[in-house]
Amino acid sequence: MKASFLKKETSARTGSTGVLFRQMPTWWVTFFGYLLAVIFCRYNHWFFGTWFPPYLYEVFKNLRGLPTTWADLGLYWAERGFAVIAILSALYHQFWQIGTRYVLTEQEIRIENWFPVRRVTSIPLGAIRRYGYQQNWLALLLNFGTIEIDTASSSPVTLSNFPKPKLFLQNLKPSVETALQKRSSLEVN
């Protein structure tokens, strides 16, 4: 008896009962983040290695008392600093992507985010007034998009980089209609 009670408690805590849809953000956007970081690092090296130094040396010659070796140090650290920022931003997005889950259950939509801090947002299905999604041409081609859910309380909740948004909304529609029917029947009684 004790084992069955513990089993029910753990399933209630994890919310695994009644899960209709569970997804994480798409990997395509993370891949494009790394691709942009590599392209940025390449052009960053070209800018700080060939194009910008003659102008910077000319500025340092006109500023009396500043050695041109400071220009070399500035170029060296600026190039590395911008490259580190580009790579860290791609890593940040990847950790966000790995740590985010979108869960549709029979009662709610739950957004679980574990990076940079743990945050769980729950949207009861009865509170949803409007929903929809948008895709650009690349997202349409790779089958991901941004889902917007309006709860009529504050700004709409957006689910970024959501894979298969049309399938999610097809699963969401009957659940929202059922929740609204239950709510309207309770209001009548």
Give pLDDT, residue 189: 65
- Cβ atoms < 10 Å from Cβ of 176: 19
Give the model confidence (pLDDT) of 116-141 as tens digits: 899 999 999 888 889 999 999 999 99
Flag whether pLDDT at 1 surpasses 60: no
Higher pLDDT, 60 or 138: 138
pTM of the predicted protein model? 0.74
Give the model confidence (pLDDT) of 167-182 as tens digits: 999 989 988 888 888 8
Evaluate whether 168 touches 131 at the Cβ level (below 8 Å): no
Flag whether pLDDT at 15 surpasses 70: no
3 state SS for 57-88? HHHHHHCCCCCHHHHHHHHHHHHHHHHHHHHH
Contacting residues for 124 by C-beta, under 8 A, at least 6 apart: 107, 108, 179
Flag whether pLDDT at 77 surpasses 90: no
